[in-house]
Structure formats: structure tokens, C-alpha cells
Amino acid sequence: MIEKYDIDILKPNWPSWKKGIANFVLFNLKFLRIGRTNRLLKKYKHLEGGEFIQAVTKDIGFGHKIHNIENIPSSGPVTLCANHPGGADVVGAIAALWERRQDFSILANKLICVKPVVDLVIPVDLLRSTEKVDMNAIDDAYMANRLVVFYAAGKNSRYNEAGELVDRRWRTTFLDYAYTYKTPIIVMNIITANTPLFYKVAKIRENNPSLKKVPLENLFQLREIFKQSGRDIDMYASRNIPFEEWSQHYTPGDLKKNRILADDLYESVYNLSATNQSIIWDK
């Protein structure tokens, strides 16, 4: 749980003198927006959950809307899987989902797991090679009949050779949980993006073996949220896919078959719009 942003989040075991130097550098790199983020945390510390996030998005100045939000059940366990274009997609999703229901859990980078939203976010530690997320927390969310939100790509989208911003292939974990708890599935297309600087930094890291485990682009996540100022994040929900329907395409333990199902849902996401709620099977 984060109460304020500083180097202690990434390097808790560093000696105090080293942390002091690192924090001096980070707080003086104004473009990272760390100082402004901490001021917002202090300004709205009296708020919790989606109310906190909505106040922050209003302060920053970007809008958020889920088209076809009525497709999302207002109660009961639901599995929602979205693409992960970056920018303020997680923040926008929290703010918009709050308009429909307040009992949801969203798997997201632990760097956004600030104190006011600790009851909504299941933190994912992207820096760990194994056990990135507490699986028990996901089970607890389902058993509490919550809406559970997955970003099945596991990291921000990247531009492909055709210049399209798309997720990497989705993992099937969300299907496994949805099958275990017999929930409907909804997929959602989020329209936003990181700034060019984010992708340049990510590419430098990915192409440099010595930087593979250095979270360079993570340092820019807060900046990317503020860069949404003056924009609207539109999200498009698919129709509600009942368990009885999608489970016909799923077999426990059959990774090959289940990947086909995940691929179908992935392909469906990028065709969703305000007027198209269909999935690939409807064509």
C-alpha cells in the first residue's frame, strides 16, 4: 500500500543516504510528476475508492466513459477482461466502473495501489519473475461476488508493424477463474495510449540486456496519467457472454483449446464500439 511516492517503493532496502539522494533527483525531475501526485494524494486523502479516483481525474482534467455500461451486471460475480493500452487506462476504468458498481477488484500494477484504493486493486508486482500476484486475493474477490477485472496481456500494449497499438497475446488465466466460479465474461476495448516517450524508453530497455530488469518505463507511469489532461478515455463493453455460452469453448486443462477461446475474445475486443457489442461468434 502506497501512502506517498518515493524511491522506497522500488528500493526499500537501500540505505537512508542513498534513498535521500535518489528522492532528491526524482522530486526534481518535474516531468515525472511525482511531486504533483503526492500533492493530490494529500489533497484527496479524505476520499476512498472510486470517489478518490474520480476526484483525481477531475483535477487532472480527463474524462472517462464506458459505452454500453448497462451490459455489466450490477451485482454478482463477473469476469471482465480489457486491453491494456496504457496512459490512464486503469485509472479511467476504476473511475468509470464506479458509476455502475462499487464492489469490484482490478488487477493492476502495484505502483498505483495507493491507500485510498487499496480495497479495489489487487496489486501485480511486475518486477518479480514468479508469484507476481496473490492468487488468494483473486479467489477472495470472486467468493465475495465481486466484479474482477483482468488485463490479460500482462503489460501495456505495443505498436505492431502496421502501426496499430495492440496487446500481446492474452494469457488464459482469466478464463480459468471465470470457469472455476462460473461467471459471465465481458471484454472491453479501452481507447487511449501512452506518449511516444514511454515507448522509446521501453524500447531502449528491451533492446539492452543490462536493462532487462530495470523498470525504466515504470518511472513514467505517473507522467502518463497526467498526460491524459484534456482528453476523454472511451471504453466499449461487449455484450454479456453467459457462462453457459462461452464455457462450451473451454476445457479445463486444455491449454491449446483455451488459447483459441482467449484469441477469439482478444480479436473481438478491437471491433467493439458504441454501436457494436458483438463478439466473434456472433458473425
> Looking at the domain assignment, is residue 6 inside a domain?
no
Mean pLDDT of 5-12: 81
How many angstroms separate the Cα of 14 from the Cα of each of 1, 9, 100, 117?
19, 11, 42, 27
Interval 161-187: pLDDT, tens: 899 999 999 999 999 999 999 999 999
Residue 96 lies in a domain: yes
Specify the number of domains making up the chain.
1
- Classify residue 5: in a domain, yes or no: no
Q: What is the pLDDT of residue 22?
A: 85
Range of the domain at 184: 16-282
**Among 117, 96, 121, 86, which residue's Cα sits nearest to residue 228?**
86
Confidence at 281, pLDDT banded by 50, 70, 90? confident
- In the predicted model, is pLDDT for residue 129 greater than 90? no
Which CATH number characterizes residue 118's domain?
3.40.1130
Range from 10-19, 148-157, 169-178 carrying the lowest mean pLDDT: 10-19
Query: Residue 243: inside a domain, yes or no?
Result: yes
Q: Output 11 or 135, whichever has higher pLDDT.
A: 135
User: Is residue 3 one of the residues assigned to a domain?
Assistant: no
pLDDT (0 to 100) of residue 213: 65
In a domain, 10, yes or no: no
Q: Is residue 1 part of a domain?
A: no
pTM of the model: 0.92
Q: Is residue 81 part of a domain?
A: yes
